[in-house]
A and B are shown apart, each in its own frame.
Chain A
Amino acid sequence: EAQVTQNPRYLITVTGKKLTVTCSQNMNHEYMSWYRQDPGLGLRQIYYSMNVEVTDKGDVPEGYKVSRKEKRNFPLILESPSPNQTSLYFCASSQGRIGGTEAFFGQGTRLTVV
């Protein structure tokens, strides 16, 4: 089954404690991205990757890092989480730029930073 898998689904952490949210896709997609969803703001892109070892900032990259060492994995790293990073996070993957294609989303990770 084609899917994007995020872990964990729920996470409560304390300010400053480094954390990683994993994302894996099994569709051999080139393009992967991370979004955060906040009330009234919709989904805002944090980082994206067009292929292995190619990453770039989205609209709200501050406080986040990503890496793309393998095509299937695109972890999101919060080196020093702060309460304003409390949000619902989604990883997405898609075939690539050409022709414009829809993205497949993971089920989301609800992060609370206290």
Chain B
Amino acid sequence: DQQVKQNSPSLSVQEGRISILNCDYTNSMFDYFLWYKKYPAEGPTFLISISSIKDKNEDGRFTVFLNKSAKHLSLHIVPSQPGDSAVYFCAASTDYGQNFVFGPGTRLSVLP
């Protein structure tokens, strides 16, 4: 049973609009969450993180929201750009550790 779920395998958004990628988790012990972006033929690269003591973290066009009671986090990209087209992985860990559990990923396509 997957502890980290990304229920949308793919998402298409028009350039300039908002992209919202969702992630749900089942383990209430998770206290640190990250989003990674992956382009084809490359390794994942870190995008943004959030700890359980916060409910929001922003970095430029990227904002991550955490709803601990719902065990849900989301990544907002505003405005979306064609270069944002990639697979996005949500990851979670316990005890602020390094053993991350990854979701299956969501493929985002930003259409010009």
Chain A contact residues, CB within 8 Å of chain B:
4, 31, 33, 35, 40-45, 48, 50, 58-59, 90, 92, 94, 96-108
Which one of B46, B95, B96, B104 contacts A41 once the chains associate, using CB atoms below 8 Å?
Answer: B104
CB atoms of B104 and A42 under 8 A apart: yes
Can you report 25 residue pairs joining A to B where beta carbons are below 8 Å apart?
A: A35-B102, A40-B9, A42-B6, A42-B89, A42-B103, A43-B91, A43-B102, A50-B98, A58-B99, A90-B43, A90-B44, A94-B98, A97-B98, A99-B96, A100-B93, A100-B96, A101-B98, A102-B34, A102-B46, A102-B49, A103-B100, A104-B46, A105-B43, A107-B43, A108-B41
The reply to whether the CB of B67 lies closer than 8 angstroms to some CB of chain A is: no
Q: Supply 19 further A-B pairs (C-beta < 8 A) apart from A100-B96, A105-B36.
A: A35-B102, A40-B9, A41-B104, A42-B103, A42-B104, A43-B89, A45-B100, A45-B101, A50-B98, A59-B101, A100-B98, A102-B34, A102-B46, A103-B46, A104-B46, A105-B43, A106-B43, A108-B41, A108-B42
> Which residues of B pack against A, CB within 8 Å?
2, 4, 6, 9, 32, 34, 36, 41-46, 49, 51, 89, 91, 93, 95-105
CA distance A97 to B100 in the complex (A): 11
B52 smallest CB distance to A (angstroms): 10
Number of A-B contacts defined by CB within 8 Å = 68
Which chain B positions have C-beta within 8 A of A90?
43-44
